[in-house]
Amino acid sequence: MAKVSTTIRTDQDAKKQVQQIFSSLGMDMSTAVNIFFHQVIRNNGLPFEVVMNTPNAETVEAIKEVQRMKADPSIGKSYTDVDAMMKELLG
């Protein structure tokens, strides 16, 4: 099958990082992109899930709790001594 050139534009730092990863896997950028293309063909779409990184309910609640504590420092406890904090947490 005839080979063709393809030009892509990407962030310089991202390119350096993926080149290092591909190199550690024993391949160059061309090989990696060809593997990706073949997986797209095989899957008839992207070979991985593309989703928003949405925090789960527990994480959302923890974020809200911290926001409440920042707005009202009387909520929760604060420590000036790490040893005292650890003693209370572990005791």
Residue 86 has pLDDT above 90, yes or no: yes
Cα(46)–Cα(22) distance, integer angstroms = 19
Residue 31 has pLDDT above 90, yes or no: yes
Whether 36 and 61 share a structural domain: no
Within-domain flag for 49: no
Q: What stretches of 43-89 adopt beta strand conformation (E)?
A: none
Residue 5 has pLDDT above 90, yes or no: yes
Q: Tell me, what's the pLDDT at 91?
A: 82
Q: Would you mind telling me the total number of residues written for the chain in this entry?
A: 91
Cα(78)–Cα(6) distance, integer angstroms = 58
**Average pLDDT of the segment spanning 80-86:** 92
Residue 65's SS3 state is: helix
What is the domain range of residue 68?
Answer: 57-90
Within-domain flag for 50: no
Within-domain flag for 22: yes
Q: What is the tally of structural domains in the chain?
A: 2
Within-domain flag for 61: yes
Q: 82: buried, middle or exposed (CB in 10 Å: 19+, 13-18, 0-12)?
A: exposed
Within-domain flag for 82: yes
**Average pLDDT of the segment spanning 14-21:** 97
Q: What stretches of 1-91 adopt beta strand conformation (E)?
A: none
Answer whether 0.75 is exceeded by the pTM.
no
